[in-house]
Amino acid sequence: MLNLDTKLIIVEGRTDKEKIEKVIDDQVEIVCTNGTIGLERLENLIEAYHMDHRDVYILVDEDNAGKKLRKQLSRELPHAVHIYVDKAFREVAATPEPELAAALISSHIMINPNYLL
C-alpha cells in the first residue's frame, strides 16, 4: 500500500538509485525516470506515485540531460525540493558517498551516519 507520508526522490537511473539507497537511513521511495521523459509518461508517474500529495525531491545529474529533466520536473512539480550534487562530480552515481550524504541531509533526509564526513 502506498504511504503518502513517505518521501519520494526522483533520479535519472538505476545506478543513481543504488547509490542513494546505500547512504540513506530514511523511509524514502526512489523513482527512476531513465533519462528525459515525455510529458505523458511524466504525468503517469505523477499520478501513479501521487506526487502532487507527497514530499518530492529531485536529484539528477549536473549535465545537460539532467538540467533538462530538472527543468521539466520543476514545471510539473513546482512543490518539489531540489537537491544538487557538486558540479565537479557531474553525476549522482559518481558523487562520493560523504558528499551525497551531505546533500541529502541538507534536505532533511536521514542518512546512515557512517557516511558523514
Portion of the chain with pLDDT greater than 70, in percent: 97
**Cβ contact 35:65 at 8 Å:** yes
pLDDT in tens, 30-85: 999 997 789 999 999 999 999 999 999 999 999 999 999 999 999 999 999 999 99
Portion of the chain with pLDDT greater than 90, in percent: 88
Residue 88 confidence class, pLDDT cut points 50, 70, 90: very high
Residue 1 confidence class, pLDDT cut points 50, 70, 90: low
Number of helices (H), then strands (E), belonging to the chain: the values are: 4, 4
Q: Is the model's pTM score more than 0.85?
A: yes
Contacts of 43 (CB under 8 A, 6+ apart): 76
Show the domains of the chain with their CATH numbers.
7-112 (3.40.1360.10)
